[in-house]
Structure 1
Amino acid sequence: MNDLHIEPLPNIDELDEKILKLITKNARIPFLEVARECGVSGAAIHQRVQRLLNLGVVSGSEFIVNPQKMGYFTCAYMGIHLEKAKFHKQVVAELTKIPEVVECHYVTGTYAIFIKVQTKTNKHLKKLIDEDLQEIEGIASTETFISLEMEFKRQVPIK
């Protein structure tokens, strides 16, 4: 069976787009306020949002923890070279056990895996590299990029 199945794009109309623009700007916006902005009933908004959830266009809502407010002042990205491609799943399984690894991507190019880590300090980052990452079987080497400041982050555009 082919694992490379691409889902057809869902049928999204102008009302769906307007709803998406409003709820992605503020996930806590009341449905009645969205309804007022869109000129439809609250029930219609509820049904549309439920449809968008069911289609997988949006997934839930979440509170985002500010890492700095929790004492995590160092954000870094790391490219990981594997000894052999066969180590990919094993390495990813080990990476999931490290709480400071907050994102993990299988990538093309120079690295096999690219991760984002949040640590309290640069010293904490060094300890993470030396004692956790370099000890994972299958990792040949890593290259670290410390983020000095996030300039912006955003969602994909809604037409």
Structure 2
Amino acid sequence: MIDRINLDILRCLRENARCKASDISHKVNLSVSAVIERIRRMEAAGIIRQYTVLIDPKQVGNDLTALMEVSLEHPKYYDDLVDMIRRHPNVAECHYLTGEFDFLLKIITDSSASLEQIHRTIKSIPGVSATKTHFVLKTIKDEVAMLPDHLD
């Protein structure tokens, strides 16, 4: 389903999800109706999952980003931790890992006091055996929609 034209359409949408089909059609040399049909097919196939807005956390008062590694005593605690993480408004990302720690959380919040409270909340979840927190000093790259760099 991903050919060169679809990849070009996705690049246009990644740059600006509000890009008009007519503008995309000029860039990819297809009719507007063909562009719309390709977008609909990619939506139906789950390639395009959603359209969203990117918010600068600092502009809305969330000046602190931290990465927290979390270990569980036993896999039986997985579901409870995941349920809490999904509901927590300050956890932007959660990744299940191999290695020393079981999860890596990206936490975005407004202060170290808030991060301390989040840390206490996570540590109090039954089964959490260890955490390790890293403060992000500067984000060098933050891509939200990755595309293949080439097609075979």
Q: TM-score, normalised by structure 2?
A: 0.90
Q: Does 1:118 align with 2:73?
A: no
TM superposition shift of 1:117:
0.6
Match of 2:41 in 1: 51
TM superposition shift of 1:123:
1.9
Q: Return 5+ residue gaps in structure 2 as ranges.
A: none
Give the Cα–Cα distance (whole angstroms) in 2 for the partners of residues 152 and 62 of structure 1.
19
Give the Cα–Cα distance (whole angstroms) in 1 for the partners of residues 4 and 114 of structure 2.
48
1:123-148 per-residue CA deviation (whole Å, 9 max, x = no partner) reads 21112212x11111111111001111
Give the Cα–Cα distance (whole angstroms) in 2 for the partners of residues 14 and 96 of structure 1.
35
Match of 1:24 in 2: 14
How many aligned positions are there?
A: 148
Q: Does 1:127 align with 2:117?
A: yes
Residues 25 and 31 of structure 2 are in contact (CA less than 8 Å); yes or no, is this contact kept in structure 1?
yes
Q: Does 1:143 align with 2:132?
A: yes
| Residue 60 of structure 1, aligned match among 40, 46, 50 | 50
TM superposition shift of 1:40:
1.6
Give the Cα–Cα distance (whole angstroms) in 2 for the partners of residues 96 and 25 of structure 1.
27
Find the residue that maps to 1:99 and give its secondary structure: coil
Match of 1:152 in 2: 141
Aligned CA distance change for structure 1 residues 58 and 113 (closer, same or farther; 3 Å):
same
Residues 7 and 147 of structure 2 are in contact (CA less than 8 Å); yes or no, is this contact kept in structure 1?
no
Match of 1:5 in 2: none
Residues 68 and 105 of structure 2 are in contact (CA less than 8 Å); yes or no, is this contact kept in structure 1?
yes
Residue pairs, 1:35-114, within 5 angstroms:
35-114=25-104
Q: TM-score, normalised by structure 1?
A: 0.87
Give the Cα–Cα distance (whole angstroms) in 1 for the partners of residues 65 and 3 of structure 2.
38
Residues 64 and 110 of structure 2 are in contact (CA less than 8 Å); yes or no, is this contact kept in structure 1?
yes
Task: Give the aligned residue type for 2:136.
Answer: S
Find the residue that maps to 1:65 and give its secondary structure: coil
1:107-131 per-residue CA deviation (whole Å, 9 max, x = no partner) reads 111111111111111121112212x
Find the residue that maps to 2:70 and give its secondary structure: strand
User: Which 10-residue stretch deviates more, 87-96 or 46-55?
Assistant: 87-96
Q: How large is the Cα RMSD of the aligned pairs?
A: 1.3
